[in-house]
Structure 1
Amino acid sequence: MYDGDDEVINKVIAEYPDYKGEKLFWSLKNQEAPFYVKNIEKQQSVSVITYIYKGEEDSFSIPFIDDASVQNAIISAVVASKLGLSAEDIDKRMTQLEPVAMRLEVKVGQHGCTLINDSYNSDINSLDIALDFMNRRPDHRGRRHTLILSDIYQSGQAPEALYKEVSDLARKRGVVKFIGIGPELCKQHDVIQISEKFFFPNVEEFIASEVFASLRDEVILLKGARQFGFDQLTELLVQKVHETTL
């Protein structure tokens, strides 16, 4: 079972023409797919997914609108359909889904900032999920969005292609200020097509900079590989709450 719209997966599968097992895949583009996702309608807090399976058109709703939840729901629906659950049962159970605790931490920052902390790993897929989360999160104060990102390791992509994809994702998700930390990002600074951008070889030099001192009234996504020590940034940027015992 796989995503029929993923070019890499399709390329790998094509390398094994003698495979005799069933190929169950879903697609938003290929109407001939075993599980064709005809439409995804995102409302205020609900997504309605319309699909065609075995020639029958049905739909289900989930109480989420983020891309990761929609993708997970589609995968679950494919499995459930294959196992014989009816479209009615799938819809009934999907509407009962409840949010699970995410690794994304939202904290009140200093100087009018809000911090979204995802500084536990750094890869292109989780970056897109975190950017989508930041972009969809309501902010009635209209603050600008800032991404602080470390080098991404073990992506399997050439650095220039990787960071061009990072740049495209960030722009698509409304990032207007980019702060890159790490030697590779410093080398690829021209690839990042965001007008307000800054680069530092390590966290320590960023903390000592005027760029760090000038962070004000921003929604900041912290996304870094563990070895870059982004916990230092979180500690310095989060608003301290002091308690006094009398």
Structure 2
Amino acid sequence: MATLSLTIFKAKALKDGRHKIRIALRHKHETTYIVTRFIISENQFKNGQVVKHPEASAINRKLRNILDDLQEKLDSIKHLELYSCRQIKEIISTDNLSDEQTFSSACSNFVDYLKSEGRDSYALSIERVGRYFRDFARGDILLSDLTPSLVQNFAAFIRKRKVTETTVNTMLAQMKSVVNRAIREWNISYDIHPFVTTRISAAPIRKLDLTVQNFNKIRESSPEKRKLIMARDLFCLSFYLGGMNLIDIMQTDFRKDVLEYSAYSGGYPFSISGDIRSVPS
């Protein structure tokens, strides 16, 4: 639990022997200090209060307001155990906390950009990474708090969900994209990049060619189960629409006569358009 209190630091006396009143922040058996603008003599401070000073009442009132403001910021941090004492000091002593970007806000900004570019499928993937990370961190954390060990622990957290290693690597690559974009936009800088010790393996190259014979087997199959019928129909529909993925298919209004959409291959956009009426029924 983090606590705040008023104090003076006797070892940090000014040249004239007086002291600046400081706010001591204690957390995880560590203490750091936030310096205020109020200067008093040592005998004018007792039990966290200014005494024997001509403006003692006014100073105490102002100090109480500062403490209340810092305490409110402290209470807004959902998971104090994730932060060191110094990190909490940086958070609560910032005049405008919105200037410090969190991982979730970085994801949201990236998602908005991707959607504006028509890359809705990738945007959904970034949203999923954000949800997984919030589950892992039990809330949100600042980008500045991302460390190599935290990324490694997140990878272990994903693996516990019993997903494939390809999925783990994909999500880590997407998370790294969020971080790198924040770095490029000067929202954050690191002395040590959070992914410096994380090895992201490339997906294995698979033979994806489908012979005409195999395609016809799928197209002409007559499964009895409803979910298999749906799988066959969605596969054929994706094939006829130039490889359109399931998410985009589900969001498409097929009442229109012409379908037109943008996609990405190898990082480059291309457009597809065609008459839906020509798709076999």
Higher percent of residues as helix: 2
Higher percent of residues as strand: 1
TM-score by length of 2: 0.23
TM-score by length of 1: 0.25
